[in-house]
Homo-oligomer: A and B are copies of this chain.
């Protein structure tokens, strides 16, 4: 029997509780033993949920319960979540989270705390929701020198871009629709600003390079400036518009360029076929060539699927810890793509056009020579 406590009974937390119950026999078989949910911490009143008798608002009750070995954090953010996760590790509990902000901002320190105490700190659900991507990257591609990772990492923005392209919706219409389907939060600023995608490409780049890459190092541009004419240009010229997180590696495994920005993606690129709320991570390695992982990148059930996989893996590694992580980094310098050459899509009052391949630095110099500054520009992948 592995004793579990759940922090947060929101969308993801309630999904985890439900999944542990629904697929209990199956999960027990895979984990090699029963998973017993002992506490659910939430500031809300849980007396009308099926878990009323497990509810608590006092973290110290969980921290001090010797029968809790594993803590699943589904609070989100880096305030309370960081405090509780740190205390959980100090109390000798294994920790599982899908909190990308926590991992992107504090992964290295939490991983170090876990390592010191021979504890698991797992976070498969923090990138790509239910899509298996962190384990495959770390384990199955372990023999590869990686060149590049490119991901469609935010479902809300991909939904908006898909609607704008295929249904000629405006940005505002598409966003309203995303909200009405529950894809976008009431405050979707992290989605449309690229900040959410930024956290996820940081987690991927950290894992791939073995050194923490921080969101502050990442040039991040969102999708709010994309208009109907850009979409029409893409449509006519064989492109899709996608918000991409992109990390490029120098041998040996060092991330030297990382950024988030909308791109024109050629129709025959595998990322071009990733529509609606789906996410995908495309990876290029020296030996494997191109691989891509595709699926639902967010949502209650897919994220619960990833967390439950981490729970099973933790149950199988209670003493011999599973290592999936990276080391701290001293550097916080920006890893800007300014020297990365691309073909650029440029929108001027006269319409759209594509440039020759050039770096951002060259592009800026070139744009200044135009009679009027371009209204908008995007890289072509």
- Which residues of A pack against B, CB within 8 Å? 19, 23, 25-27, 30, 124, 130-132, 135-136, 139-145, 252-253, 268, 270, 272-275, 285-296, 299, 301-302, 304-306, 308-309, 311-313, 320
Q: List 24 A-B contacts (CB under 8 A).
A: A19-B287, A26-B145, A26-B253, A30-B143, A131-B291, A132-B132, A132-B291, A135-B135, A139-B312, A143-B304, A143-B308, A270-B294, A272-B273, A273-B273, A287-B301, A287-B302, A288-B302, A289-B295, A289-B299, A289-B301, A290-B296, A291-B296, A292-B294, A294-B294
- The answer on a CB contact under 8 Å between A309 and B142 is yes
List chain B residues, Cβ under 8 A from A308: 142-143, 287
Question: Which 10 pairs show the lowest CB-CB distances between chains A and B?
Answer: A132-B140, A143-B308, A291-B295, A132-B136, A130-B288, A273-B273, A287-B305, A292-B294, A288-B305, A30-B142
Q: How many copies does the complex hold?
A: 2
Kindly report which residue of chain B lies nearest to residue A307, judged by CB atoms.
B143
Asked if A141 contacts B309 (CB within 8 A), the reply is yes
Contact of A135 among B26, B139, B143, B302 (CB under 8 A): B139
* Residue of A25, A145, A302 contacting most chain B CB atoms (<10 Å): A302
CB neighbours (8 Å) of A27 from chain B are 142-143
In the complex, are the beta carbons of A23 and B305 less than 8 A apart?
no
Within the complex, the shortest CB–CB distance from A292 to chain B, in Å, comes to: 4
B294 touches A23 (CB 8 A): no
Tell me the complex Cα distance, A311–B130, Å.
Answer: 27
Return A78 CB to nearest CB of chain B, in Å.
25
Contacts of A23 in B (CB 8 A): 143-145, 286-287
Measured between alpha carbons, how far is A306 from B23 in the docked complex, in Å? 31
Q: Pick from B268, B287, B309: contact of A139, CB below 8 A.
A: B309
